[in-house]
């Protein structure tokens, strides 16, 4: 496994790659079993696999959230080696945003709903950095988890709209035995939050209507942003904790019938 720490290094590696059949897994690090499942699928399906680790500041609407994001680089590199990654791209802000984020990719419909309605500019940051990474790595396929299903929809739509020659592949959400969707942000939950968090998946999986799920989550102590059923899925976002210690959880399931 090699480390690529500059755009020049990525370009040189890509030119020398023995095969164009490259799989790509973009991440912000703090890798967990969910990330591993994406890597393992790429390793199975493609000749070579590239992993990127980059905490992208342009997608954070809350400075506290950016500050608290876990940094576990050495552990992440060990996971990458163990799962068969061929190259790890470690971008630097100065190169990725040499223009100072003057140019951006903005989607005007889906990105304004659900998480986009609560996190101003979030998806513009996501789409912009993913576009840059796809242009640099030029993979045959890029793998994304269904836990961030709205993100997956937007990236798939972007690839289609801009005629990118990369398949955007959705991979099933990986969950803890309790049902809690694996997320790097789970590391920030305190003991009380850990005990409450599984109720998010539990309740959105019931046949209760969206409004009733909001009520039940609120009674448990969640600060609910939304529970919305649309486009064949039920989406939810809610926070646990107080003040700057709040942790925001998102999840989604295939559409269930309302009671």
Positions annotated as catalytic residues are 35
Please identify which residue in the block is written with the tokens 């019931």: 206
Neighbours of 79 (CB within 10 A): 18
Please identify which residue in the block is written with the tokens 């905490």: 55
- Determine the Cα angle at 158 with ends 224 and 167, to 5°: 105
Longest Cα pair distance anywhere in the chain, in angstroms? 57
Q: Taking a C-beta distance cutoff of 8 angstroms, is the pair 201, 236 a contact?
A: no
Three-class SS state of 89? strand
Torsion, CA 235, CA 241, CA 245, CA 246, rounded to 10: 20
């Amino acid at each position: 496994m090699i480390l690529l720490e500059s755009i020049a290094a990525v370009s040189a590696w890509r030119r020398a790659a023995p095969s164009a059949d490259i799989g790509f897994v973009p991440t912000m690090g703090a890798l967990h079993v969910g990330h591993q499942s994406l890597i393992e699928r790429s390793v199975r399906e493609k000749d070579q696999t590239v992993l990127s680790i980059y905490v992208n500041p342009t997608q954070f609407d809350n400075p506290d959230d950016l500050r608290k994001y876990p940094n576990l680089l050495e552990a992440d590199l060990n996971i990458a080696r163990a799962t068969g990654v061929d190259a790890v791209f470690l971008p630097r802000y100065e190169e990725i945003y040499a223009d100072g984020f003057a140019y951006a990719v903005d989607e005007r419909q889906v990105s304004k709903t659900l998480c986009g309605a609560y996190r101003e500019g979030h998806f513009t940051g996501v789409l912009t950095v993913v576009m840059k990474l796809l242009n640099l790595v030029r993979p045959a396929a890029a793998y994304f988890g269904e836990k961030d299903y709205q993100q997956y929809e937007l990236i798939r739509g972007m690839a289609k709209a801009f005629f990118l020659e990369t398949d955007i592949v959705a991979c099933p959400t990986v969950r803890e035995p309790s049902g809690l969707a694996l997320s790097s942000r789970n590391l920030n939950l305190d003991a009380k939050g850990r005990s409450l968090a599984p109720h998010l998946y539990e309740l959105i999986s019931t046949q209760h209507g969206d409004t009733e799920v909001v009520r039940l989550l609120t009674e448990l102590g969640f600060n609910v942003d939304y529970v919305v059923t649309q486009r064949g899925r039920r989406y939810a976002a809610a926070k646990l904790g107080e003040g700057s210690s709040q942790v925001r959880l998102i999840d989604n399931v295939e559409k269930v019938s309302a009671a």
